[in-house]
Amino acid sequence: MQNFFQVVDLDRDTVEKFSPKLRFYFGASDRWCPVKYYSDMVDLVPSVRAQVCEKMIPHAFVLGYSDEIAEEVAKWIDDDKL
């Protein structure tokens, strides 16, 4: 809960600076991190690598969807090698 009080705005400069090393993956139905956050981030930092999950994986992906997330992360790692 403390994060909600401390993190109130996107640190745009940091995201821009490290955007080649960062990936942001937003849930399509995540109430903790709504899709609007994705839209706002892409608008504020056009270079950011962000995407919305199309598989409807819940926020608590470790409770049954870790294989699917691991496959997605493996693709990102492979893509970065190219």
- As a whole number of angstroms, the distance between CA 7 and CA 4 comes to 6
- As a whole number of angstroms, the distance between CA 16 and CA 12 comes to 6
Q: Would you give per-residue pLDDT tens digits along the chain (82 residues)?
A: 677 677 778 899 999 999 999 999 998 888 888 899 999 999 999 999 999 998 888 878 878 889 989 999 999 999 887 5
- Residues in Cβ contact with 23 at an 8 Å cutoff, skipping those fewer than 6 apart: 49, 50, 76
